[in-house]
Structure 1
Amino acid sequence: MSSLSKYIFVAVVSGLSAVTCSEAIMTLAARAPASQAARAETALHMAISEPAPAGPAATIRKSADGEYWAQGQVNGASVRFLVDTGASAVALTPADARKLGFDMAALNYGYRVVTAGGSTRAAAVKLASVTVAGARLDNVDALVIEKGLDTSLLGMSYLGRLASFQATRQALILQP
């Protein structure tokens, strides 16, 4: 096949692809207005019901062991956290949960979780407030880990609700 034939072949295939794609886009666009309106209404509702937090950036210094340790205030009580972006939720040790006033016998350990110590059970709880380095969030979902957790973890149920967070060589910067 000559180079001119190859060029013509590629041009024809490209043209057919463009026509097919544009027809698919037009078909989807004709069906989209209702779903776009629903998505826009949902986004508007979310924006109204949970306004973005605002405030100055908070800083947690990296410790000598290379970890980010944070002294937090949870429901008014002091809790020491290891910042863990790999933890999907704030995870509390039984000792910290007791300190916060949770009735350990009344908790429903209905979740299976995997920690560095292995598989264990967890109970879902709601924290009225969590403040770390001045960055406060209210109504934070958390888990009380039944066993195997040496220290409470500041996970993504807190970190993910911040406007942003950034790890540098020296510190973790939280933007509420």
Structure 2
Amino acid sequence: MSNLSKYLFVAAVSGISALSCGQAVNTVSDRIQGHQVARADTALQVSVSAPAAPAPLATVRKSADGQYWAHGEVNGADVRFLVDTGASAVALTPEDARKLGFDLSSLNFGYRVVTAGGSTRAAAVKLASVTVAGARLDDVDALVIEKGLDTSLLGMSYLGRLASFQATRQALILRP
């Protein structure tokens, strides 16, 4: 390999390295060891934007009872959830559904569901937004449980749409 080839190879590797470090390559030298290097009339300029910062992690602390209790904002209202990976959907108590503005008399309780309290009916609703510890999702499917649910559940129709979630001994980590 000639000296010029070696130099061009090193220059190319250096340029790639500079790009990966978020720097810009500004110019190409006119001459390398007596050889003319073709270049455009203006300097070669490459702009590299910094990589996007990763989304902050949302954390729900484990409570003294060993459960993950999450305070969420749903359609602009506060809702306390029990995080339940075994629930296929976000499940709302009738009280929380009313607080969110749903008219229970106009809902179609056409679904049969089984809860810890037994079999009951549920109505499908769409939540405009659900935010837990800063992790916001829009258009979340949910069920309003007619009877037998003591607290609203943060189920898989929310959790399953996150990039990931992880339960540790101290907290539930949500990655939007």
Q: Please, what TM-score do these two structures have when normalized by structure 1?
A: 0.69
**Does 1 or 2 have the higher relative contact order (CA < 8 Å, sep 6+)?**
1
2:3 maps to none
> Gaps spanning 5+ residues in structure 1: where?
1-53
Matching of residues 52-71 of structure 1 within 5 Å: 55-71=55-71
Aligned length: 123
Question: Displacement, 1:71?
Answer: 0.4
1:126 maps to 126
2:73 maps to 73
What CA distance in whole angstroms lies between the structure 2 residues aligned with 1:111 and 1:139? 20
1:104 maps to 104
1:152 maps to 152
What CA distance in whole angstroms lies between the structure 2 residues aligned with 1:56 and 1:157? 21
1:7 maps to none
1:157 is matched by which residue type in structure 2?
S
What CA distance in whole angstroms lies between the structure 1 residues aligned with 2:59 and 2:78? 17
Determine helix, strand or coil for the equivalent of 1:65: coil
Q: Please, what TM-score do these two structures have when normalized by structure 2?
A: 0.69
Identity %: 88
CA radius of gyration, larger in: 2
2:77 is matched by which residue type in structure 1?
A
Determine helix, strand or coil for the equivalent of 2:78: strand
> Structure 1 stretches (4+) deviating beyond 6 angstroms?
none
* RMSD, aligned α-carbons: 0.7
2:84 maps to 84
Question: Displacement, 1:56?
Answer: 1.3
Determine helix, strand or coil for the equivalent of 1:174: strand
Of Structure 1 and Structure 2, the greater helix share is in 1
- C-alpha distance after superposition, 1:109-144 (max 9, x if no partner): 010000000000000000000000000000000000
Question: Displacement, 1:165?
Answer: 0.1
1:165 maps to 165
